[in-house]
Structure 1
Amino acid sequence: MRRRYWKGQGVQRRGVAVSALALALAGATGSASATDVFRLEGFGAVSRSMGGAATAFDTGPAGMMTNPATLSLMQTDNAFLLGVDLVTTDIDVRNQSSGESVSSSNHSANRGPYYAPQVAYSRRVGEWTFGVGAFAQGGLGTEFGRSSFLSKATGGLDTGLENSSRLLVLNIPLAASFRVSEALTVGAGIDATWQGMNLNLLLGADQVGSLIGGGRVSGSLLPVLGGLPDLRGAHFSLTRNSPVASGVGAWGYTPRVGMTYAFSEATRVGAAYTGRSHVSDMEGRATLTAVDGLAGQVPLQGRISIRDFQMPAVLNLGVSQRVNERLTLAADLSRVYWSSVMKDIKVGFSADGGGDLNILLPQNYKDQTILALGGAWQVDSRWTVRGGFRFAQQALPSSTLFAVIPAIPRKHLSAGFGYAVSANSSVDFAWSHAFQESMDNASLPNTSAPIRVSHAQDNATLAYTYRF
């Protein structure tokens, strides 16, 4: 994985990136269950196999998702990447009081294993390099079905109502990098960002009461719920069983800037800042079902809005070191500013027949520091092997854990390889294992029964890159 300064090359061809990008977007299915809370731990197979490090060295066209300035480090004038992410999860929830447990599995048409596209094209024009692509930034997915303890309302009442979740965040970056000198590159980009969410969530009467007592529920439907003779719970359902389309969704944008600086041919540092996303409120159709011990289930159809649900700003600092002709080491230190975007999940519901309900579900995420370490060993002219480790602070407080939002893994081990198919093309593979993390929550309002959630997963990435 030798690093060299770029010197102009004469080969130029017209790419087919636009049609390939459209094809990949049209074929995207499933959703990615992220492991740095809602964010995937690296973009592209090269970065993913090296623990997610990508700030200070060339990871190919996928580098524009972390540091757009790395596009200037390409050794050819054009590069096209096409790949796929595959995520398999192992999520279990245990009722600490009753001993009942449930595993997240494929009960529905749009849940795990989760997969999403990677496609990108970059082109050098003089001292400029431009890039466009489409990547899953992250998401989550759980499926607990309709018959577990999570579907029991207060008093042990079986509801047969589903508990599940799916979040998909898709970024379409447009980036540019400029080589200021042989040592310095700078870059910037802006992503079109789409978010889609499915959610089925049952709240027991004690959870609803805790939210009301904390001043977290308002609206004209509140007296209606309070007037039921034996309220046992409330269930929100905003789900579409579709590969991509979701119960609620919205578009917005995400800005990004970065730079790299080479102290020598062997040592390079980098810095990049991705701003918080600016996505509109996610809106769509939903059903609010009041569960009553005497009146039964009372469904209300209407429109729902998930308000101001944003991805956080991220600061990345990185260094890469070519130890010798075969070995390259890299490290990234990242700070993810969750506290500014994930204080509450803000839900607004308007019934078709009139009346509204506004709920603030507490989250209180903390800012997160992440260390990524990786290395690449060039075995011969065709084979490169890679490995890495990633360690993150816990962002989610245990007191606000939801069973359907288990965004808790913190430690990853990764490995992968690159194989040069020809002088112009290569195949890269990465595997990343998130070690099992467990968390307990016995606190209202986000759980009624005391629960323990355990979450582990494996991610795989396969990508083809053509350089010309």
Structure 2
Amino acid sequence: MKVASKVALFTTIAGAAMLIPGIAHAGGFYLQEQSVRGAGRAFSGEVADQGAASLWWNPAAIGGLEGGDAHIGFSAILPNGDVDNSSTVIVRPGQPAAPIGGGQRSSNPIEKGYLPTGAVAYGLTPEIAVGLAISAPYSFTTDYAADSWVRYTADKTKLRTYDIQPSVAWKVAPGLSLGAALNIEYADAIFGNYLPNLSALQPDGHQKLSGDGWDLGWSVGAQYMTGPVSIGASYKSAIEHTLSGSMETTGLLGALAGLNGTVETSAKFSTPWQATVGARVKANDALTINGQISRFGWSEFDSIDLGAPLNVSIPEDYRNTWSFAGGVDYQISPKWTVRGGIQHDQTPTRNGHRDARVPDSNRWNYALGASYALSPNFTVDAAANYIDFKDASIDRTTAAYAGSAVQTPILVNGQLNNASAVVLSVGGRMRF
């Protein structure tokens, strides 16, 4: 099997973007449901709030902690949306452009997701606290039917990441805490797509890439509290992931049959850095107002670099984005607190570069939540979010067997329509 031929074959799916979901619940392929309390106010005050529940956003959140603090949460992510064909065509060698056959609408290709999260922290001294947060910040599954019009750019895609964040915080002065953390992240991915044979009368072939690996990043943060005001800022580094795995190709016929087989390979890509600032202002004994702004360095995801024997780089051209959120907490009684918030989040994908593997778009997140203190040391949290996605084009041209004599362009022209998601979360916080 010739390596050059394998490279041409691999660009069919790699050019469609590796390891990224369709409809996510923050921009790109980031899942922000790392705190039930935060979900209830649309993640508007996490970088400036205290306790283990805010540890993902700011390692300084446990500064000055006395005793122990823990939280656990669970979110059910229920997406909906249609991925519709407009006028996508395939151009086989020596043949006129032909419409893509099969199903012209893929409804709800993003599978339901269930996301656990948790953290624990303990104050070792009045100044020093340590903590550990476990989360799954980039996890999803998409599944298109075998006859979908998008089958040559996306089939089934599955990504799971598990982030282990050991943290330490130091209360350096009254009201001022600094924090630092490592982000130890494991990624496991499977993704694939169908491949056109040279005759439209022949069944499609198929290609699947799978891999996994451990990688490392870091986080730093600060919090300052004075009177009724709490201010927080944090930075979470990009993480360069290196996945080791294999590519399996099956079902190619005739002149393409020599491309069938399995190749051991690797792939490198980077998840974005995050810079966040926010504040919480206690307006009176009952009402707290929250605001948060995040900048995501999605331009780090500029390419996917494939290792030997392929040794090619696939451009992705993601852009940096902003997220803006505002919300309130209102304490009705010593036991009951209600909250709400609104968030606007940009997509890092660009028009002309968006495909069905990641039919992402700008979105608004509307949130409501509540907490009930069962005892002075244990509180139950619940939240509901409705996320409304803007309709967006799916228009990234790709090609099977790119750069070879049998290059087969797929001129994609489709649309993401009627996309939304409901996220239901429940959890608890405990002091010990």
Deviation at 1:192, TM superposition (A): 0.9
Instruction: Give the residue type in structure 2 aligned to 1:390.
Output: Q
1:124 aligns with 2:85: no
Say which of 275, 278, 282 aligns to 1:318. 278
Say which of 228, 231, 237 aligns to 1:269. 231
- CA distance change for structure 1 residues 141 and 437 in 2, over 3 Å: closer, same or farther? farther
Structure 2: how far apart are the matches of 1:399 and 1:284? 30
Q: Where do residues 225-374 of structure 1 align in structure 2 (5 Å cutoff)?
A: 235-238=206-209, 247-262=210-225, 264-279=226-241, 281-289=242-250, 291-292=252-253, 299-307=260-268, 309-339=269-299, 341-348=300-307, 356-374=309-327
Could you say which residue in structure 2 is the equivalent of 1:466?
430
Is the 2:361–2:390 Cα contact (8 Å) retained in structure 1? yes
- CA distance change for structure 1 residues 396 and 203 in 2, over 3 Å: closer, same or farther? farther
Unaligned runs of 5+ in 1: 1-30, 106-110, 154-161, 206-227, 239-246, 351-355
Deviation at 1:450, TM superposition (A): 0.7
For the aligned residue pairs, the C-alpha RMSD in angstroms reads 2.8
SS at match of 1:151: coil
Could you say which residue in structure 1 is the equivalent of 2:35?
44
Structure 2: how far apart are the matches of 1:394 and 1:43? 20
Is the 1:137–1:170 Cα contact (8 Å) retained in structure 2? yes
Q: Which segment is superposed worse, 37-46 or 374-383?
A: 37-46
Q: Deviations over 1:65-89 (max 9, x none)?
A: 1111111265x52112222122111
Higher RCO (C-alpha 8 Å, min separation 6): 2
Structure 2: how far apart are the matches of 1:361 and 1:325? 55
Instruction: Give the residue type in structure 1 aligned to 2:29.
Output: F
- CA distance change for structure 1 residues 297 and 45 in 2, over 3 Å: closer, same or farther? farther
**TM-score, structure 2 as length reference:** 0.81
1:147 aligns with 2:147: yes
Could you say which residue in structure 2 is the equivalent of 1:66?
57
Is the 1:45–1:461 Cα contact (8 Å) retained in structure 2? yes
Could you say which residue in structure 2 is the equivalent of 1:452?
415
Deviation at 1:358, TM superposition (A): 4.6
Deviation at 1:234, TM superposition (A): 6.9
Unaligned runs of 5+ in 2: 1-21, 88-98, 400-409
Structure 2: how far apart are the matches of 1:360 and 1:145? 29
- CA distance change for structure 1 residues 164 and 398 in 2, over 3 Å: closer, same or farther? farther
Q: Where do residues 26-105 of structure 1 align in structure 2 (5 Å cutoff)?
A: 33-72=24-63, 74=65, 76-97=66-87, 100-105=104-109
Structure 1: how far apart are the matches of 2:360 and 2:182? 26
Structure 1: how far apart are the matches of 2:311 and 2:25? 28
**Identical aligned residues as a percent:** 22
Is the 1:140–1:407 Cα contact (8 Å) retained in structure 2? no
Structure 2: how far apart are the matches of 1:132 and 1:151? 41
**TM-score, structure 1 as length reference:** 0.75
Is the 2:27–2:346 Cα contact (8 Å) retained in structure 1? no
Structure 2: how far apart are the matches of 1:152 and 1:332? 40
1:397 aligns with 2:322: no
SS at match of 1:62: helix
1:417 aligns with 2:416: no
Is the 2:279–2:290 Cα contact (8 Å) retained in structure 1? yes
Is the 2:134–2:164 Cα contact (8 Å) retained in structure 1? yes
